Amino acid sequence: MIKEMEAVFCDKFGTNENIQKFFSPGRVNLIGEHIDYNGGNVFPCALSIGTYGIFRKRQDDKVLCYSMNFEDLDIIEFSLKDFKYDKKDNWVNYVKAVIWSFGQKFGKIEQGFEFLCYGNIPNGSGLSSSASLELLISKILIDEYNIKIDMIEASILSQIAENKFIGVNCGIMDQFAIAMGKKDYAIFLNTDTLDYKYIPAKLDNYKIIISNTNKERKLNESKYNERRTECEKALSFIQKYKQVKNIADLTIDEFEAIKHRIEDEICLKRATHVVYENERTKKAVELLKQNDLEQFGKILNESHKSLKELYEVTGVELDTLVEISQQQKGVIGSRMTGAGFGGCTISIVKEDCIDQFIQVVGTKYKEKIGYEPSFYTVQIGNGTMKL
Ligand code: GLA
């Protein structure tokens, strides 16, 4: 791929001299959904698919960007002297966002660059193509502009970019998983303290299959922000009676004792999901360590039920895909992953049942929804890197 990208770079920007190459993965979350902005524990991993970038510094203040995924947009240009969010600049807003975020912390970046990228994360699939791009730009700024921070700080600056410049109030999970990913390991991350541990994602003769609903993506960001606001409201009810920083700081017993204080039906449902999902995540990690895959799978199923009934972020496409998947031979668990409303599910499937799984789930999903899902076998990869 990178050879083809070099040829396109040459075509678009004149020569290939002095180019630098980078890669940044996508991510998938095994469990711990919608709790990374509630101080909960999450369990994501980086994927081997992601975004490739070719970079070259310029002598002036211009930034020229070209994506092989958006050829019709051609080269999009902006000046480092003066730039802001502009809807028509599409994906380049993520480039601007990270430059802005680094600029806030380290002072304005003045020297421009040429940048070409290509991503093999399906767009809008909920596998974090945008966070992948954010970390790619972060790594470029660190390496090429001599900025002395580590990848954890880079993930925080990328999250700030997304929150403040793009306007999506995401948590830290995606950026952290992408920055800190490690081949064949999942990351058990406490999103309050950012303490983390690498846990071997050892599944014996099982594989993680990602199934994409292929639902058209629309307006998910506003629903995402709405969930976050509902959680903040739930927390403020709790804080009137108990000193806690995050909803996920509460144990199940503590929560059960105080939940009647949440005087709003919807907020109560959201908080219930958060507290129980946080416990499920801790349990799931233990089960994986003990190699108890059957129970691990059951917890994934429970997580989906909660996201469907209490957090209400699934929808007919995700529910259909999960329900059919859970019924298949050799499947020990299946759930939606990521922000929800569309996007992907993960299923733990016995290796010798995968072909049949893909065939039957594909057919049944199409019968009900009207179009086909797509399937990928998860390969857990490393975090963002220079090539
Ligand atoms: C999106 C956000 C993450 C996280 C998940 C849900 O991927 O970017 O921060 O909240 O949704 O778990």
Express each pLDDT in 208-258 by its tens digit: 999 999 998 765 678 999 999 999 999 999 999 999 999 999 999 999 999
Predicted local distance difference test score (pLDDT) of residue 230: 98
- Pull the structure tokens for residue 227: 């969930």
Question: 33 in ligand 1 pocket by Cβ < 6 Å?
Answer: yes
DSSP state of 162: I
Closest residue by Cα to residue 176 from 165, 160, 49, 357: 160
CA of 29 to the centre of ligand 1 (A): 9
Question: 114 in ligand 1 pocket by Cβ < 6 Å?
Answer: no
- Pull the structure tokens for residue 256: 């059960």
Predicted local distance difference test score (pLDDT) of residue 123: 78
pTM of the model: 0.96
Atom index in ligand 1 nearest the CA of residue 168 equals 8
Cα separations in angstroms, 163 against 96, 142, 156, 166, 193 = 13, 20, 10, 6, 19
Please report how the helices 129-144 and 92-106 are oriented relative to each other, as an axis angle in degrees rounded to 10: 40
Q: Is 253 a catalytic residue?
A: no
Exposed / middle / buried, residue 247 (Cβ in 10 Å: 0-12, 13-18, 19+): buried
pLDDT tens-place string over residues 63-83: 999 999 999 999 999 999 999
Question: pLDDT in tens for each of the 387 residues of the chain?
Answer: 899 999 999 999 999 999 999 999 999 999 999 999 999 999 999 999 999 999 999 999 999 999 999 999 999 999 999 999 999 999 999 999 999 999 999 999 999 999 999 999 987 788 999 999 999 999 999 999 999 999 999 999 999 999 999 999 999 999 999 999 999 999 999 999 999 999 999 898 999 999 999 998 765 678 999 999 999 999 999 999 999 999 999 999 999 999 999 999 999 999 999 999 999 999 999 999 999 999 999 999 999 999 999 999 999 999 999 999 999 999 999 999 999 999 999 999 999 999 999 999 999 999 999 999 999 998 899 999 999
Closest-CA residue, ligand 1 atom 8, reads 170
Predicted local distance difference test score (pLDDT) of residue 218: 67
Long-range contacts, 182-186 (Cβ 8 Å, 24+): 182/46, 182/380, 182/382, 182/383, 183/48, 183/380, 183/381, 183/382, 184/380, 185/45, 185/380, 186/30, 186/43, 186/44, 186/45, 186/288, 186/380
Question: 34 in ligand 1 pocket by Cβ < 6 Å?
Answer: yes
Q: What is the CATH number of domain 2-199?
A: 3.30.230.10
Structural domain spans, the chain: 2-199
Question: 339 in ligand 1 pocket by Cβ < 6 Å?
Answer: yes
- 243 Cβ contact partners less than 8 Å away, ≥ 6 residues apart: none
Atom index in ligand 1 nearest the CA of residue 42 equals 12
CA of 290 to the centre of ligand 1 (A): 27
